[in-house]
Amino acid sequence: MKDIVLIEPVNFEKTEKSQQWPQFLAVLTGKGCSLSIGTGLQNGWPTPTVPRLLSNDLGFKITQDEVSIIVMIAPLGYLIGSPFAGFLLDRIGRKYTLLILSVPQIAAWILIATCPNVPMLCIARFVTGIGDGSLLTTLPVYMAEVSEPKVRGVLGTSQSITILIGALMIAAYGSYVPVRTAANISLSVPTEDARKSLKWLRRMNNVEEELLQISRDVQRQISESGRLRDVFIIKSNLKGFVTLIGLRGFQQLAGITVLMYYLQIIFKEANMSGITPAVSSIIVCGSQIIFAYISSLVIDRFGRKPLFIFSSIGSAILLFIIGVYFTLRRLEEDVSAFSWIPLAAMLLYFIVAAMGLSIVPNLMAGELLSASIKSKALGIIYMSLGTKDLLVTQALYYVSLVQLFRYKACGKAKVALRISAARDYRRSSEHSATKKSYGGKEQKSFRK
């Protein structure tokens, strides 16, 4: 009689959970991560650099008007980078598009490190915008297609987190070294092949079942008609497109980007005692990362919409408080006892923003659109984003800080009300999300 061997049942739920953290770590060590950090370096570049440009750090005189042009010209690059990336995604695929995006980042830092005058610095910033617009169009597509629904919230928000890491890095060393030296340091951001990292970190080579499911969903959607007009004539596509235009537009009108650009200038204007603008900006950037990471862990549990609404209302209140402080200063009231308010309120503002406003639009960009038209739609969306970013950034030089914070606070309240109508697609496959946006039905075109 043969012995009966009892085999202990495998806890697949535990095994599955144990493999999720390496997936997140894999994304953070892949090519997309290094590009996101590079984008964070470039987006955060104005924070420590604007005061240095005004002090002639580059060896030639730069006026305040020229500084405003240098800062705001980067979003113009979105008008080229975003549609160009959309074209490359359909022509050469996601992986090779990501590889190409290293070129504008490297070129921009070289131009900054060697620029002899203001026009060359403007060209460098324009190239920066081309790279940023291309990455913001490409990475949400890539993230949504390679992540499983259960961890898409964590993996999708990793793009925002790594951008914030880049902003912290440039705020840290850019505040204490010359502009050209900071550019040379930024050139040394390492890159690593994402696929090899994924296999090693997953501790398994057989990922065929997961890849097969992802491949079926993506290939099915790509095989469908993907012409530009499908963005507008298919109801589900149009609804997702309009939602993303709104999310991205509200995000910029809320002031996240422009306030980060001029963060040290704002702290200098606040005339705080006991802490320098450089240290204040580093504290703000570091806090954003911590709370964005915490939000990434709970976004699939609580949902996109609640976090976005909380973030919008909370940041509106904080901007109003800052506006009151600067209003009292303008009226020459004695606010010396409250000199801590700008740092505390700005710190809380960016923390609250990092919990929703900063991460939800990036995540939703990969969830609300069908793969067949995603590259084309995102190209248009980020062209629109670049235009709004340009206008908001330039507007700061034509309005006072008091007017700016009042405007932002009112805008945030509107955002919270408008987003309350949005659906939540956590734990849904990419295909399911696009179906839900059309009432649970398959996409239907109105063309013959």
* pLDDT above 50: residue 443: no
Lowest mean pLDDT among 257-261, 269-273, 332-336, 349-353: 269-273
Q: How many of the other CB atoms lie within 10 Å of CB of 207? A: 13
* pLDDT above 50: residue 255: yes
Token pair, residue 23, equals 């997936």
Which residue did the predictor score with more confidence, 435 or 170?
170
| Percent of the chain predicted with pLDDT > 90 | 14
| Domains of the chain in sequence order | 20-204+217-436 (1.20.1250.20)
* pLDDT above 90: residue 87: no
**pLDDT tens-digit profile of 7-28?**
334 343 444 444 555 555 555 5
Contact 240, 377 (CB under 8 A): yes
Question: Position of tokens 């509200």?
Answer: 250
User: DSSP letters of 28-45?
Assistant: HTSHHHHHHHHHHHHHHT
To which H or E segment does residue 18 belong? Answer: helix 12-18
Reference 81, options 337, 380, 303; nearest CA is 380
Could you tell me how many residues make up the chain? 448
* pLDDT, mean of residues 84-99: 80
Token pair, residue 250, equals 């509200």
Confidence of residue 183 (pLDDT cuts 50, 70, 90): very high
Which residue did the predictor score with more confidence, 397 or 267?
267
Token pair, residue 348, equals 């809380």
In the chain, the largest separation of any two C-alpha atoms, in whole Å, equals 97
> What mean pLDDT, rounded, does the chain reach?
74
Point out which residues pair with 234 in neighbouring strands: 445
Alpha-carbon distance 246 to 406, whole Å? 21
Helix, strand or coil, per DSSP, at residue 350: helix
Alpha-carbon distance 171 to 41, whole Å? 8
Alpha-carbon distance 395 to 19, whole Å? 47
Confidence of residue 168 (pLDDT cuts 50, 70, 90): very high
Reference 134, options 165, 94, 182, 171; nearest CA is 94
Contact 263, 284 (CB under 8 A): yes
Alpha-carbon distance 267 to 276, whole Å? 8
- For helices 341-354 and 263-270, the axis angle rounded to 10 degrees is 150
Alpha-carbon distance 101 to 135, whole Å? 7
- For helices 46-54 and 277-302, the axis angle rounded to 10 degrees is 160
Q: How many Å is the Cα radius of gyration of the chain?
A: 23
Going 59 to 61 to 63 to 68, the CA torsion angle's sign is negative
Token pair, residue 189, equals 């951001």
Helix, strand or coil, per DSSP, at residue 26: helix
Kindly list the distances between the CA atom of residue 128 and the CA atoms of 64, 112, 116, 167, 312, in Å, as whole numbers in the listed order: 21, 10, 17, 14, 28
Which residue did the predictor score with more confidence, 1 or 111?
111
Kindly list the distances between the CA atom of residue 82 and the CA atoms of 87, 161, 292, 381, 417, in Å, as whole numbers in the listed order: 9, 21, 25, 8, 29
pTM over 0.85: no
Point out which residues pair with 445 in neighbouring strands: 234
Contact 254, 314 (CB under 8 A): no
